[in-house]
Chains A and B, each alone.
Chain A
Amino acid sequence: MTDPINANEIQQEIFAIIAKQAKIDPAIVRPESTLKDLGVASLDAIEVIFDIEEQFDITFPDQGPNFDNDTVQGLVDAVLKALADKGNAA
C-alpha cells in the first residue's frame, strides 16, 4: 500500500535537491529553467540525478533526460513517470 503520488510535493522535493546542488534559493528554481541556466554544470548534474534517484528510489534510463539542456519540468516529468512505472510494477 503506497500513498498516491503527490506531484506538487515531488516537484518541491526536486526543486530542493537542485537548489542544494546549485547553492541557490529553491524559490529561484522554475519549471522552465534548465540545469545549465541554474549553474548546474555537467558533473553537478550527475550528482543531482544521483540524489534524485536515491531520494525516490528510482533509476533513470541511461539515455533518458538530457540533463544539461532539458528543463526542470522535464526532470519532474521523468521522476513522475518512473514512480508511476514503479507503482504499476509493485
Chain B
Amino acid sequence: MSIPHGRRIVITGMGAVSPFGIGAASLWQALREGRSGIAPLRHPDAGRLRVRVAAQVPADFDPAAHFDERTLPMLDRLSQFALLAAREAIAQSGLDFALNDLGRRTAVIVGSGIGGENSHDEQYRRLYADNATRVHPLSIIRVMMNAPASQISMAHGLRGPAFVASSACASTNHAVIQAAQMIRNGLADVAVTGGADACFSYGLLRAWEAMRVLADDTCRPFSANRRGLVLAEGAGMFVLESLEHAQARGATILAEYGGGGMSADASDIVAPDPVGAAAAMTQALADAGLEPQDIDYINAHGTATQANDISETRAIRLAFGTAADRLAVSSTKSMHGHAMGASGALELVATINALREGVVPPTANLDVVDPACDLDYVPNTARAIPVRAALSNSFAFGGLNAVLALKRAP
C-alpha cells in the first residue's frame, strides 16, 4: 500500500443520534446484535398516511434536556441531532479548540439532503391550514440549509471553512471527502464532519408515498422478498485530523481515513447505473492506495429497493472483479433504516467499529436468496473477521455517488 498524496488523515471522535437513541455506542451495539430500529410510524398524521413503518429517533428524545431555552428556538430537529452528535464526537476526540487558536484551523463540513424540513412543514401548516398570517420569527434561521454547520461552528468556536454539502442520500460521504481534502491540502488541521437529516414531515411523507418505493413491513436489503426502503432520521459526526496532529497530542485513533471516490451517473434521475457506482469505488481505492484484495468489508448502500440492490451488486463485481467473492458486504439500513443525507454517517459509525473490533454487522431480514444479488451479505448475524480496510458506499437519487475508504488505525 502506498499513500499517493498529501497528509494522512485519522478519525479521533465519533458521535451519533439514531433510532437507537443518543450515542454512537448504542447504535453500534444494536447493529452488531442485528437488532432493528424499525417500528410503526409515530406521527400526528399516521392515521391518514400510507407510510406504515419508520426508523425514528426514540419518542423519549427531549430537546429541552440538551439545549438551553435561548438556543432551542433556533434549532430545527436536524440541527439538534447534528449538535448532539458533534458534541459527542468532539468530547471523544479530547480536542480543546481554544488551545493555540485551534478553532481557527478547524473546518465544519456537514452533509444534509433535506435541511430544516420539520420547521418548513410546521410553518406552512400555520399558513395554509390554520390561515395564520405570521410564521415564527426564527423560521429562516431554522430552515437555512447551512444551519447545522453554523450551529456546530458557533457551539464550539470553530472558525475555519464551514458549510453544508447536499447530495440527497450521499450527502454525508460527499461532506466527509470534502473535509478530508481540506486537511490534506492544508486548508485546515482538524474537521468536524458528518451528516444529519430529520424528514418526518407530513408533506415529505406524502411525497415518498407518491414515489412508491417504501416498504410497508420492514427493510430487507438483497433479499428476494424486499419491498422497498424504510425512512429514518438521525445524525452522525466525526472528528478528522492529520495523523501527525493526532500523534503529537497522543490522541486515541479510531480509524484512518484512507480516501474517497465520487462520480455522477449522468444517466437516469432515479435508476442507478452500476458503471457510475463502480467508478466511485475504484476511485476511492486508488485514492487510499488500496487494491481490491485489501478490502475485507463493504458497508453497502443497500436500500432494499428493487433497483439499488441489483445495481449495487453489479457495481461491486465491476469494481472488484474476482476479489468480490471474498468480500463481506452488508446493509445496516436493514436495522437503522434510510436516514437520507445522514445515512452515510450512521454507516460510517458501523464501518469504523467493524475495523476496530473485527466484527462485521449483518444484513438483517435477509431471508430469501435473490439470484441477482450473489455476494456474501452476512445474513442476519454479525461475523467476527479481521477487517483491515473497508469501503462505505452511498449512492443518491440524481445519480450522485460517493464512497469512503477506511483503514484500521495505524
Contact = CB atoms under 8 A, between A and B. Distances in A.
Contact of B214 (A46, A49, A62): A62
B269 A43 contact: yes
Chain B contact patch, size range: 10 to 19
Contact of A46 (B50, B212, B216, B307): B212
A interface residue count range (under 10 / 10 to 19 / 20 to 34 / 35 or more): 10 to 19
A50 B50 CA distance: 15
A63 interface: yes
Contact of B210 (A41, A42, A46, A63): A46
Contacts of B271: 41-43
Given A46-B210, A46-B211, A50-B210, A63 B216 contact: yes
A15 B307 CA distance: 27
Interface in B113-150: none
Interface in A39-64: 41-43, 46, 49-50, 59, 62-63
Contacts of B211: 46
B216 A42 contact: no
Contacts of A50: 210
Contacts of B269: 43
B227 interface: yes
Given A62-B50, A63-B216, A43 B227 contact: no
Given A62-B50, A63-B227, A43 B212 contact: no
A10 B309 CA distance: 36
Nearest to A45: B212
A50 B209 CA distance: 11
B98 interface: no
A62 B210 contact: no
Contacts of B270: 42-43
Contacts of A41: 268, 271
Nearest to A53: B210
Contacts of A42: 270-271, 307
Contacts of A46: 210-212
B216 A62 contact: yes
Contact of A62 (B209, B268, B307): B209
A18 B271 CA distance: 20
A8 B300 CA distance: 48
B224 to A, nearest CB: 14
B115 to A, nearest CB: 23
Closest 5 CB pairs of A and B: A43-B270, A62-B216, A46-B212, A62-B50, A63-B227
14 contacts: A41-B268, A42-B271, A43-B268, A43-B270, A43-B271, A46-B210, A46-B211, A50-B210, A59-B50, A62-B209, A62-B214, A62-B216, A63-B216, A67-B212
